[in-house]
Amino acid sequence: MDRVAGETGIVEAPCGRLKGLTEAGICVFRGIAYAKPPVGRLRWRLPQPPAPWAGVRDATRFGNAAPQAPSRLGMFSGGGIGMQSEDCLYLNVWTPGCDGVKRPVMVWFHGGAFVFGAGHQPIYDARRLAARDCVAVTVNSRLGALGFLSLADVNDVPSTGAEGIADQALALQWVKDNIASFGGDPGNVTIFGESAGAMSVACLLASPAAKGLFHKAIAQSGAAHVGSGRERAAKVANAMLDKLGTRDADALMALPAGAIVKAQAAVLRDSRTGRRRLGGLPLQPAIENDVLPERPIDAIRAGAAAGIPVLTGTTKEEWKLFTVADPRLRFLSAANFARRVEQLAGAHAPAMLQAYGEGSPFERLNALMTDKAFFVPATRMLEAQEPHAAVFAYRFDWRSRFLGGMLGACHALELGFVFGTFADGRARAFFGKGPAAEALSGAMMEAWVNFARAGDPGWPRYDAGSRRTMIFGDGPPAPVSAPNDARRLAWDAMPEKRLGP
């Protein structure tokens, strides 16, 4: 394909002929269907391979995002959701050339609590990664109640509650079948994702549906303590059906997507306010089904992802993204913090209070919740996979300059540096800019692409003895041993069900 800026090109792939664009020397193909639209009778069904097409299909515009409600956190991921529809199973490809060169392939799954986001948001523009001689793919899949609602135990709709994960597995099948036509190596595929996307990576490590479809995995700020068992999944499904006002399968199939999203928003609001006790992330993937037979952490421990190197880590102060805007938490009293620890830890509260004894109550709360939801689950996933493959750890310490630095090294802050989009548009206020930011982004992109290429990001492996972890912050990246170890040890006595979102 000719790569003169602005000219279109046509690629011949097993899926069909596609017309893309060339931008800044990178060939871009947008809005490629990897499945049949999950509409009509295919709503709440496992995804089906797409029908082949005749002629040349336009791939110069992004496909639809999954139906979703607006999110106040969207500003931190650069917005750009665009058109929404149940017809949302599309992916995008960035490549240096459709030339038969076997480049490493990186397939991205976006975050958003399993209920919002899209793979085509500006923050995930993958041209800078592709410029490092890899092929990058970003994926849209079903979200919320349309992708993660398990109805099989509550009415006649046979949804598993893991359709969104099955979508991602089918996208990986598309990559295996087609990516060679885009200059990628189907035998060297790395999946990566952040937050709910990282939890999706963990689910794919555990899922029989994705077996053999990828070869390495990167999980950013999300790990394997995820998955609703049948009892909890049914509780969430009943809450949704109550809001929808019907349990009839035909009536549910006929509902407009907007009505489902509206009911979903009401269920999430009830869960946040405590009106219904549904736990964190009510609409997360269901387990105990053919897509996800068990919790990912248990499957990984048992060797479900044997031979697949894993790179995982967190930001230093993940939880601040969720607490800075709440004055009740910013001015939390020591007594209130102690009560929260007692509710979480029970008999283990004294040890927890000692482990989290430094700083203001607000800082201590953020450290505790960062560890509960992110750091300790990441550590457990590393230790689960270590007997089966090489594993690597990182921590992201760069602090956001936004809001006078109040956000610290919060959740999602590494995204702009992994994709090199940190200084694009309005996002720069959140991520920061300047020579130090440029150097940090360059170091992270180099490490991520090196890992995708050869399974080695450029620092020592993690092991249970040294717990070597690469720190990415204001200065040059540097490895440390056993960060936050006293806090980590405090969690060893806690039931594992307390971990995760």
Catalytic residue annotation: 195, 318, 411
Own/partner long-range contacts of 157-160 (Cβ < 8 Å, ≥24 apart): 157/44, 157/249, 157/252, 157/253, 158/44, 158/45, 159/44, 159/45, 160/46, 160/286, 160/289, 160/290, 160/291
Pairing of the two strands 26-33 and 16-23: antiparallel
Q: Are 427 and 421 in contact (CB under 8 A)?
A: yes
User: Which token pair is 446?
Assistant: 């180099």
264, containing H or E segment: helix 257-273
Q: Are 419 and 125 in contact (CB under 8 A)?
A: yes
Give the C-alpha separation, 313 to 300, whole Å. 17
Inter-CA distances, 473 with 101, 199, 321, 488, Å: 34, 24, 18, 21
Alpha helices (H) along 331-434? 334-345, 349-355, 361-370, 376-385, 415-418, 428-431
393, containing H or E segment: strand 391-396
Listed in order, strand segments (DSSP E) in 97-228 are: 103-109, 135-139, 184-194, 216-220
Give the C-alpha separation, 24 to 21, whole Å. 10
